[in-house]
Amino acid sequence: MTGTLKRRLRVIEQRARLDEVIFTMPDGTKAGIPRRQVLRSMIDGIRGIDSTGAWIMRRAVDASDGSSLHSMCQALAKGPREAHAD
């Protein structure tokens, strides 16, 4: 019985896209990355690996979970900034 309930809940989560983080792209479209793959996508994005998740992370402007991992990924992918002397 417990296994059946878990399977039913998993199906509901997948259909409602609750198992994904939805990212808003600059043109307003939405793209999702499974929650368990977000960190891997960020690492790929920083390393310059061309995966779908990395592409989304490097271009996203907002995330449905409220995190700013995509912003951090974009900053780290750009590399260090030159220090300005005051």
Mean pLDDT of 8-33: 84
Q: What is the pLDDT of residues 29-64, one digit of tens each?
A: 999 999 889 999 989 988 889 899 999 989 999 998
Length of the chain: 86
Read off the pLDDT band of 75 (50, 70, 90): confident
Provide CB contacts within 8 A for 5, sequence distance 6+. none
Name the nearest CA neighbour of 20 among 49, 58, 52. 52
**pTM, rounded to two decimals:** 0.70
Asked whether residue 27 carries a pLDDT value surpassing 90, the answer given is yes
- Confidence class of residue 86 from pLDDT cuts 50, 70 and 90? low
Q: Residue 60, Cβ neighbours under 10 Å: how many?
A: 23
3 state DSSP class of 74: helix
What's the pLDDT at 52?
Answer: 94
